[in-house]
Amino acid sequence: VYLARKVRNRRRVLDCSLRDFAERARVNFATLSRIERGYGMPTFAILLQVAKLIGMPLGRMIEEAERRA
């Protein structure tokens, strides 16, 4: 849930549509949509791409998600 909120909030701060954000992250639109809704388990590669785009180190993003779980 934390990751979903973090990605959605950052996308909104960047004023990107879901489709634009997915393209910029080089992630399939449907996959990103599932991530934002808290469904499924993104691969490491997808997490890395999303972390880069939202400007947060992947390790920090994972640590924060674990703390809030």
User: How does the average pLDDT of the chain come out, rounded?
Assistant: 89
The percent of residues in the chain predicted with pLDDT above 70, rounded, is: 100
Q: What is the pLDDT of residues 44-58, one digit of tens each?
A: 999 899 899 888 899
pLDDT of res. 13: 92
Pairwise CA distance, residues 68 & 53, whole Å: 21
SS (H, E, C) the chain: CHHHHHHHHHHHHCCCCHHHHHHHHCCCHHHHHHHHCCCCCCCHHHHHHHHHHHCCCHHHHHHHHHHHC
The model's confidence at residue 3, banded by pLDDT at 50, 70 and 90, is confident
Cβ atoms of 22 and 28 within 8 Å: the answer is yes
pLDDT of res. 41: 83
